[in-house]
Every structure is written in structure tokens, then in C-alpha cells.
Structure 1
């Protein structure tokens, strides 16, 4: 009887020990599981924060890129406007299709006057008015570019353009135009041709595929304007 009780006690002890070990293992497993879940949760939160930061960085970079693109567009637009204004003001050399008008002496058989060294200023202005009326984008007389402030006048029996003497004959006038043929034929029948003949001069024109008009190389004269200093 005692032996049976002893055996029962030993078996019970072993079973109890095994159950205790099992409970401890389950507890450790549960504890490890909870710890792993916390670590995973923290890792997820950290990853979410990193993704949010990356999204913020991407948004910031896109905004900066858009600003740079806008700045480049503005700079490009301003450059185009400045170039167009400089071209319109005659400050740049221009090339394109046009007409070369050549003015030369045409002495009649009964001419007994003195030497002819220049085109009279009034006659040159008349010819240029005809050219502008027919249609011209850019004009140069000799080496002088015509601009809005160009003055054509006479001094000591010679004609000046932009304050510089006209070259001797033959005098070339370069005209850039969208329709060289139309300008050419219109000049051939211009009324100013008869007045040129009265001054023993003549001109003829020739359409060309491309010619160059030089840039205006003098200083622009601005009237009725003065600088104003800013008051501090």
C-alpha cells in the first residue's frame, strides 16, 4: 500500500513538473509573441513615418522643380522679349530676304553742271518713304542702320545719315522685306524715280534671297527725358 502511494506520488510529481514546465513555456511563448508584436508594431510605425517623410520630401522637391521651371520660363520669355525689342530698335544685325537698291549717277548728254558727290537729303528721304510705304522690315543706307531716331540732313553740300557722311556712288540701300518681288516691282514704277532723273541720278533694285542689315552702332538720342534720383 505504501509502495503504491509512493509510486502515485512520484507520478503526480512528474506530471505536475511537466505541467509547470509547459505553463512556463507557454508563458514565455506568449511573452515572446507579445514582444514580437510590439516590435513589429514599432517597426511599422517607423516605416510609416519614414514613408510620410519621403512623401513630404518628394512634394517639396516637386514644388522647387515647378518654381525652377517657372523661373526658366520667365527668363526665357524675358530673353525673347528683350531680343525682339533690340531687333526692333535696330540694335542687332539682321539677315533675311530682301532687295538691294543701288543709287548711281545718270548724267544726261547735255549735262554741264559740276560733280555730283551725294544724294540730296530730300531725295533720299523720299525714296526711303516709298520703301517704307511699300513694305520694309529693316533698312540700311550704306553702312548706316535706319532707326526711329535716324536723322537725314545735309551739311556742306553732302548728306549725312546718323551724323555720318554717305559713301560715294554707287550707294547701296539694303532692305529686308517679306515680299522682295513686290517691293522690287513697286520701286521700278515709283514716282520718286522721275525726281531722281531731274537730279541726274537713278536707282535700280534687285531681289535677293538673303542680305544683311548691320546693327545701329551709334548712341540713341533721347529727347524730353531726364533721370530722376530716388528720394531716400
Structure 2
């Protein structure tokens, strides 16, 4: 399959409410929760800079002002940070990416969920995608809280519906073409709604990753990583 230009832009999804970490996230936005010595989102910013990205878009909604004040314009990370500000209810993953498209290059771009902690090297996603592919997803072994996984990886193709050892969990890390988010859509929609027809058409590639990866949107995981305790809601 022919290839095209390498990945250029990068985006961090940081608009979520952090419901599972309440009441901690009632006053502290989830991307700023400290993990391994620094706010969670800063791990991504340093890793993206190390991978050669010089500009990153961050979508924000809940406690947006706190995130923007903490990160600023990105100078201390060696980056230029642009913000896509959403309504208080946020736009979900797909809607958030679609709103941010004017801030991203008209070329394949990388997106990472702001609530994962990983040592994945983003340089692995800067190589050109297949010319017919609309997305490339990073898939990890299924964690205990999600034993059935999300997708099957058959060769380098992401598939739905298969079972067994080929099933893995979507890491919240991927590369997407802007065209994946085109067409008539509601303002608020999930990334999965955009991916499903592309997967069925065989236009989504997969990359397995077996290194360090954690979903930090859960109190037990946050505690295991040395983060602050989540108080019991009264």
C-alpha cells in the first residue's frame, strides 16, 4: 500500500469531567492531577516535544481556565500550545477533535487521551500512514477492568467482532486524517462513531504496544501510580 506524508500535528484530549475521580476533580481538572512527580498532561507534552512535535492543540472544557493557566503557551515545554475551548458540557472525543481541525494541519495528526499514563514513544507514529488509511490506532493488552478489549488486530488491520487472543484495548493514542471526521454529524459525538465505518471498510491500521500504559481515570490506578487519594464523596 502506498504511503503519504508523515504525521505533523498533535492534539491532547483534555476536556473531560473526570467523573470517576470525583470529588478530587471537582476543583482539580483531571489533566492536572499529579502522577509520577508532575501533572499528568505534562508527561504527554514532554514526550511530544521529544518526538519532534513543535505545536500541540489541547481541547478544554471543565475547569478550562485552570488548565490554560497552568500550561500557558507551552514555552517551558519547547512547544507552542493552542487551545480549543469547548462548551461546559464538552463535545465528546469525536466532536472535540472535529472542532479543533482548523488548528491542526491538513494532514494526518496524532491524538492522545489526556488521562493515560504511558512510556509509548510517539515517534513510532510519525512515519507515513498507508495512503488509503484513515486512522492508525495503538492497541495494548487488555487491562483487568476491560478484559474483553475493544478491537481485534489481524496483521496490521483493526477489526471488529473477532474474539480470542487477537483482541486488544485501544490505548487512546492514534493518528487520524481530517477526512475521518467529515460528513454530516451531530455537534457532540464519540470517536468510535467516526472509526466504525472506516474499520468496516478496512481503512484503519493497528500498532500493538506492550509497554507501560495505564488508564488514570480510575481511583485505584491513580493510587497505584502514587497519585493523590480520591476522597469518598459525602
- TM-score class normalised by the smaller sequence: under 0.3
More helix per residue: 1
More strand by share: 2
Q: Which has the larger radius of gyration?
A: 1
TM-score, scaled to structure 1: 0.22
